[in-house]
Amino acid sequence: GIQVEQSPPDLILQEGANSTLRCNFSDSVNNLQWFHQNPWGQLINLFYIPSGTKQNGRLSATTVATERYSLLYISSSQTTDSGVYFCAAPNFGNEKLTFGTGTRLTIIP
Amino acid sequence: DAGITQSPRHKVTETGTPVTLRCHQTENHRYMYWYRQDPGHGLRLIHYSYGVKDTDKGEVSDGYSVSRSKTEDFLLTLESATSSQTSVYFCAISESLSSYNEQFFGPGTRLTVL
């Protein structure tokens, strides 16, 4: 099945800094999602982005499907951005979303 | 936010007892999923449903059964709970095949099996 790898595993930043999180996947996909798991454990949908670029406020994401990677950009980080960021992709024609192991982001005031 | 609720939100039980977790959605989505989240393993699919009374196994289905008698409800049952089933359980929904559609997740149920 598809393999999903995320980097870096941990990231500690000062409030106001910018960050880039990376997601590599091993096979072609029709669907790629980014999630934020907040400190209370809730999984929040950030982006559904099989290809191209999308922006939502301080967050944006780019997926280059032909090169099998996706990037999540967070600008002007706030302490509420802390948590774990997951990307996930399905095997083609398969119901299972395969999750990466996540990037734990800690924003220091 | 997608209308997904899970109950109970927290449960502590003893080894060998049956446990049922409930997922309820108000979005009328066809597909529903149960995942478990464990340190070092991320989220893994247990079972999913592609319609009323239509279910199939995921990658970690041993020890779990599911039922879906109504579009809005998807139940996960641990027939005889074991300590290895201590985990956080998430329900998810999608309008159609997850290859093409976004999945949305419920708030999770933290289950502890003593």
Report pLDDT digits (tens) over B76-110: 999 999 999 999 999 999 988 766 778 999 999 99
Residue type, A101: T
Separation of CA A89 from chain center: 11
pLDDT of A31: 85
> What is the mean pLDDT of the segment spanning A5-14?
96
Mean pLDDT of chain B: 93
Test B102 with A33 for CB contact under 8 angstroms. yes
pLDDT per residue as tens digits for the range B31-85: 999 999 998 778 999 999 999 999 999 889 999 999 999 999 999 999 999 999 9
Q: Name the token pair of A26.
A: 């091993």
Kindly state the percentage of chain B with pLDDT values over 70: 96
Q: Within 13 Å and on the Cβ side, how many CA atoms surround A98?
A: 21
Q: Check A35 against B105: CB less than 8 A apart.
A: yes
Average pLDDT, chain A: 93
- Mean pLDDT within B17-35: 96
Q: Which of B31, B103, B108 sits opposite A41 (nearest CB)?
A: B108
> Over the stretch A87-96, which tens digit does the pLDDT of each residue have?
999 866 666 7
B56/A contact by beta carbon, under 8 A: yes
Looking at residue B41, what is its pLDDT?
77
State whether B33 and A48 contact (CB < 8 Å).
no
Region B3-20 average pLDDT: 97
Residue of B nearest to A50 (CA): B100
Provide CB contacts within 8 A for B84, sequence distance 6+.
B113
What residues of chain B lie within 8 A of the CB of A45, using their CB? 102, 104-105
**pLDDT average, residue stretch B14-41:** 94
Show Cβ contacts of residue A47 under 8 Å, excluding neighbours closer than 6 positions: A33, A34, A54, A56, A59, A61, A72
A35 contacts B42? CB cut-off 8 A: no
Name the nearest CA neighbour of B2 among B19, B18, B26, B21.
Answer: B26
Residue among B45, B99, B105 whose CB faces A30 most closely? B99
* Gap from B43 CA to chain A (nearest CA, Å): 6
Inter-chain residue contact B103 with A97, CB threshold 8 Å: yes
Position B99 scores a pLDDT of 63
